[in-house]
Amino acid sequence: MAAMFDGVAPRYDRTNTVLSFGQDRSWRRTTRAALRLRPTDRCLDVAAGTGVSTEELARSGAFAVGLDLSFGMLSVGRRVRPTMPLVAGDALALPFADASFDAVTISFGLRNVTDVRAGLAEMARVTRSGGRIVVCEFSAPTSPAFRRVYLGYLMRALPAVAKRVSANPDAYVYLAESIRAWPDQAGLAAVMQDAGWGRVGWRNLTGGIVALHRAVKP
Ligand SMILES: C[S@@+](CC[C@H](N)C(=O)[O-])C[C@H]1O[C@@H](n2cnc3c(N)ncnc32)[C@H](O)[C@@H]1O
């Protein structure tokens, strides 16, 4: 997994923006707003990659730290965003004490964690009681007609476009397949609850292409 992301790292930020028609920027802004960060908050961005998601969180004034498994992604992040705190680590064994964050988030990363429930439980461990989580992840478009068009884009057009713009097009075939295999909105909410999160809810973005799941640490 880390090796695949090492391969896409050099052109990661730009490829995202091309493949999502620029939507990724608004998904990130909405994730930050949903976290309701205050300037005194400490926020952990798990699977931060190049820190593009962490940078958006820092705009709130909160202290935001990004964590990722891929040295390739982290080293691009350190070059492009030299003042951003980015640390190497595994979502399944976070290098932080219990209850050390007010908020924790993961965008377009949970799908890649090999044990989703364990990753969510580990994120709950490092969050203080009353702290919150927002998961930003690809999901299931709610309208059946739109879902058909979207799946066509995902399985055919996206890998073809990625061939032109990405450093590792095979990674985008994996992306399409992993989105198709991912649970829908209610399915992910159930896993979050099972992993120890309370008051789980979600909202759809771009017709359900992306969903934001929000919950509170009991
Ligand atoms: C699609 S990128 C998302 C990056 C960023 N959050 C964003 O919004 O663009 C997914 C990231 O998940 C990371 N990742 C996968 N498994 C991980 C794990 N177990 N622990 C930490 N990071 C992981 C990969 O290295 C990759 O950088």
Confirm or reject: Cβ of 70 under 6 Å from ligand 1: yes
The CB of 84 under 6 Å from ligand 1? The reply is no
The CA distance from 21 to 11, in Å, is 16
pTM of the model: 0.94
Q: Shortest CA distance to 89 belongs to which of 67, 64, 110?
A: 67
Q: Cα–Cα distances in Å, from 58 out to 41, 42, 158, 186?
A: 10, 10, 30, 30
C-beta separation of 139 from 111 below 8 A: no
Asked whether residue 12 carries a pLDDT value surpassing 90, the answer given is no
Q: Is the pLDDT confidence value at 19 over 80?
A: no
pLDDT value at residue 173: 83
Residue 166 confidence class, pLDDT cut points 50, 70, 90: confident
d(CA 9, ligand 1 centre) in Å: 11
Q: Which of 79, 78, 86 is nearest to 58 (CA)?
A: 86
Q: What is the pLDDT of residue 171?
A: 81
185 lines ligand 1 (CB under 6 A): no
Q: Which of these ranges, 23-37, 51-65, 149-163, has the smallest mean pLDDT?
A: 149-163
What six digits make up the tokens of 147? 């879902």
pLDDT in the model for residue 216: 98
Mean pLDDT of 17-24: 81
